[in-house]
Amino acid sequence: MAEDGEEKLLATVQHIVKTLGRTDTMTEDILKVFSNYDGRLSLDKLYATRAAAAAAAVAAAGGAGAGEHSVPASPPMPPPPAVPPAVAAMPAVTSLERTVRTLDRQISQFVTMDRLIWADSADADAFLEAVDDLIGTVQELDAAGTNRGLLDRADELLSRCMARLEDEFRALIERPDDVAPPAPGGFASDESEEEDYDADDGYGDEPIPIAKPVSDFDVVIDALPPGSVSDVHQIARRMVDAGFGRECAEAYAAARRGFIDESVARLGIHARTIDEVHSLPWEELEFDIARWIPAFKMVFRILIPSERRLCDRVFDGLAPYGDLAFVAAVRTQVLQLISFGDAVSAASRAPERLFRVIDMYEAVRDLLPDLDPVFADPYSAALRAEVSAVCNTLGSSIKGIFMELENLIRRDPARVSVPGGGIHPITRYVMNYLRAACGSRQTLEEVMEGDLGAVGGAAIAVDPDRPTSSLAVHIAWIMDVLHKNLETKSKIYRDPPLASIFLMNNGKYIIHKVNDSELGVLLGDEWMKQMMSRVRRWSLEYQRGAWAKVMSVLQTGGPGIGSLPAKALLQKLRMFNGYLEEICAIQSEWVIADEQLREDVRAAITDSVKSAYMGLISRLKSSPEAAQDLFIKHSPEDVEARIQHLFEGVSKIEVSGGKMLLGETVWSSQIFGLDCTILFHGLH
């Protein structure tokens, strides 16, 4: 009876299908509805009944044409239930159709879940197994190429699977089950440490904490726990097998990009346009550079290698999608860091920017060799080239700054003389500047030679005894420009001997700074000999110009010339006294800054003047006529003492309100429009 009832139920269903199923699609949909409603009406039973009915109909049609001599068999069986024509006309169901329908039922349960499938490992395993079966079925249908409609349905189901897998993939990356330990330098939050906050972070109302700098770059960030890495790898493998590898790579990049962006923001780096960089005051730009350098090192030595390691694990054996994912994840922040370097390179080439630009150049150059294994694939090679290019542009900026320094020295006007013929601020600035710059001689040698680290970042070997390098030639040229500028400035002095003192002071200061630094190695012994010869020449010019009339009046005649009358000798003595008072009054404000040079000049004057004066006194004492009216105002020792007090100078440089006060003359501390306070501080 139960079987008879089931047959009647099936017959009823077939009747409904016949009535409502005007098309094959409608028929299949109706059958699916009944199969979901009653377990006795499973699709397998319905299709089996449909196939049996169709076979019975074919057999009945064949029996109607048999001959009249046929031998009747056993008593006739009751006829089978009538098969609705609509069902009888449907083709036989293949195993692939049944597989697709079965997978559809299984997969639909997973893709419609309102929770993560990977929250339950059993669900995750079952879902992956169904996905594997579906991928294999699609591949089989595609290879057969005989049922396009079924292939389209399978592809549509596969697309639904991939969309859900992508959601699960991103969720596992963005919200892993476990939290990785915080990385040194603060890539992960650590509430136990104090952190700086940047109010203007560009990320909304919540400030981004600024991480502490690190010095140890031998660190790898494990952004995902091992279990999560295994899970996302399993998903990635299915997506690649299904032909969704590029979508998987894009999903990975989108999921990781937020972490990378926040990590860079925690290093105090914000995106700035070229116009913003160019319009920033130097103090602000210098602060940004000071943050950019350690951030650049941390990003390229820790963050990006860690991203490469994670990407290689997630996409292990799935090339080239791992390379695509890696580039897409890091590209934005890499280009942001590079663009800042390019903007600084293209900004003002004022001399005070040299040292920060050198720091940037060295930071990029030093890490170039380490980038080769990280950016080894064809997709990230362009990023490696961008980093190398910014190294070149920074090197070009360094050369440009040196050229600008030369131009500014050449154009510096000769307006006001330095009181007492002392050292000009431009001399102090240029020499201290070059001396400080030579602290980075290795880098400057690279830049000037044109090898900017583009090939493997290898440094150029510097010959310590080579004074003919490009850097040496460039510095020698700057020194020559400075010398010509000082000669022009010396012409401001109305008193030629004071002009000689000015040149002598500045020349000696230059020699001292060259001897005391790498400049001596770069310029060489020959240049030094020439400079010392100039100082001696200026010293002689001073002595001849300042003391010529004194020496002339002390001349008393020599052998064969005849003796001067006593009256003339006394007149010479009176003239000497006047000249000595006049010279000492004027030259008491003159200054020779170098102690040894000052002693040498004093000694030379004393030797010539004192001996000539003693000769005059001796002649006067030996003359009976002159001895009667002889009044010696200055003894030879007094003359020597007066000379020994020369060149001390009465004007001292003071700093007041940002101005340099030399005697009564106010000198702005703006040399070439640059604030020289930093360079002059602590330097003499």
How far is 54 from 93, CA to CA, in rounded Å? Answer: 12
Question: For position 613, what pLDDT does the model report?
Answer: 87
DSSP secondary-structure letter at 418?
A: P
In a domain, residue 3? The reply is no
For residue 358, being part of any structural domain is answered with: yes
Rounded Cα gap, residues 239 and 228, in angstroms: 17
Q: Tell me the C-alpha distance between 625 and 570, whole Å.
A: 10
Task: Tell me, yes or no, whether 583 and 492 share the same domain.
Answer: yes
Please indicate whether residue 360 or residue 196 has the higher confidence score (pLDDT): 360
Write the CATH number for 271: 1.20.1280.170
661 in a domain, yes or no? no
Q: What share of the chain is helix, strand, coil (3-state, %, to 5)?
A: 70, 5, 30
Query: Is 0.85 surpassed by the pTM of this model?
Result: no
pLDDT in tens, 530-540: 999 999 999 99
Q: What is the pLDDT of residues 9-33, one digit of tens each?
A: 767 766 676 666 555 556 666 666 6
380 and 340, same domain (yes or no)? yes
pLDDT in tens, 504-560: 999 999 999 999 888 998 999 999 999 999 999 999 999 999 998 888 888 876 544
Residue 115 CB coordination number (10 Å): 8
User: Is residue 652 classed as helix, strand or coil in its secondary structure?
Assistant: coil
pLDDT at 345: 93
**Domain final residue pick, 174, 198, 230:** 174
Residue 573 has what pLDDT? 85
Judge if 638 and 508 occupy the same domain. yes
Question: In residues, how long is the chain?
Answer: 684
In a domain, 279, yes or no: yes
* Confidence check: pLDDT of 572 > 90: no
Span 311-342, pLDDT tens digits: 999 999 998 999 999 999 999 999 999 999 99
**479 and 604 fall within a common domain:** yes
pLDDT at 217: 46
The residue from 363, 387, 411 where one domain ends is 411
72 contact partners, CB below 8 Å, separation of at least 6: none
**Stretch 490-511: mean pLDDT, rounded?**
95
Q: Residues 55-79: what's their mean pLDDT?
A: 45
Nearest to 451 by CA among 523, 494, 399: 399
Residue closest to 437 by CA, chosen among 467, 409, 478, 407:
478
Q: How far apart are the C-alpha atoms of 425 and 106, rounded to whole Å?
A: 86
Q: Which residues contact 62 (CB under 8 A, 6 or more apart)?
A: none
Let me know how many helices (H) and strands (E) the chain has, helices first. Answer: 25, 7
Q: How confident is the model at residue 352 (pLDDT cuts 50, 70, 90)?
A: very high
Percent of the chain with pLDDT over 70: 70
The residue ranking higher by pLDDT, 497 or 93, is 497
Q: Are residues 323 and 283 in the same domain?
A: yes
Indicate the pLDDT class of residue 34, thresholds 50, 70 and 90.
low
The 3-class SS string of 185-211 reads CCCCCCCCCCCEEECCCCCCCCCEEEC
At 449, the pLDDT band (50, 70, 90 cuts) reads confident
pLDDT at 470: 87
Claim to verify: residue 170 and residue 287 sit in the same structural domain: no
Residue 511 amino acid letter: I
Q: Which residues pair with 655 in a beta bridge?
A: 660
- The answer to whether 587 and 642 have CB atoms below 8 angstroms apart is no
Q: Residue 413: how many CB atoms within 10 A of its CB?
A: 8
pLDDT in tens, 210-250: 444 544 444 556 678 888 899 999 999 999 999 999 999 99
Name the pLDDT band for 478 (thresholds 50, 70, 90): very high
Residue 663 has pLDDT above 50, yes or no: no
Report how many domains make up the chain: 3
586 and 527 co-located in one domain: yes
Same domain, residue pair 369 and 400: yes
656 or 676, higher pLDDT: 676
Q: Which of the listed residues 157, 174, 191 is the one where a domain comes to its end? A: 174
Q: What pLDDT, on the 0 to 100 scale, is given for residue 220?
A: 57
Rg (C-alpha) for the chain, rounded Å, is 48
Measured CA to CA, the distance from residue 382 to residue 386 in angstroms comes to 6
Does residue 267 share a domain with residue 119?
no
Asked if the structure places residue 530 within a domain, the reply is yes
Dihedral pair phi/psi, residue 667, rounded to 5° = -110, 125
Q: Is residue 580 situated within a structural domain?
A: yes
Lowest model confidence (mean pLDDT) among 202-211, 265-274, 277-286: 202-211
Q: What is the mean pLDDT of residues 597-607?
A: 92
404 and 431 in a single domain? The answer is: no
pLDDT for 683:
40
Whole-angstrom Cα distance, residue 405 to residue 449?
A: 19
218 close to 301: Cβ distance less than 8 angstroms: no
Whether the per-residue pLDDT at 656 is higher than 70: the answer is: no
The confidence score (pLDDT) of residue 29 equals 63
Kindly report which listed range (199-213, 231-245, 350-364) carries the lowest average pLDDT score.
199-213
Residues 442 and 368 in one domain: no
pLDDT of residue 28: 63
Question: Is 225 part of a structural domain of the chain?
Answer: no
Q: Look-up: residue for tokens 């309100």?
A: 657
Answer yes or no: do 287 and 330 share one domain: yes
Side chain identity at 567, as an amino acid letter? Answer: K
166-191 pLDDT tens trace: 999 999 998 875 333 344 444 443 33
Q: Which amino acid is at 552?
A: S
Q: What is the mean pLDDT of the chain?
A: 79
Q: Which residues contact 581 (CB under 8 A, 6 or more apart)?
A: none
Strand, coil or helix: 9: helix
Which residue range is the domain that position 544 belongs to? Answer: 425-449+467-645
pLDDT at 404 over 50: yes
What confidence score (pLDDT) does residue 286 get? 94
For residue 296, what pLDDT is reported?
94
Q: What pLDDT is recorded for position 160?
A: 94
Q: Is the pLDDT of residue 132 over 60?
A: yes
Could you tell me if residue 226 is inside a domain? no
User: pLDDT value at position 358?
Assistant: 96
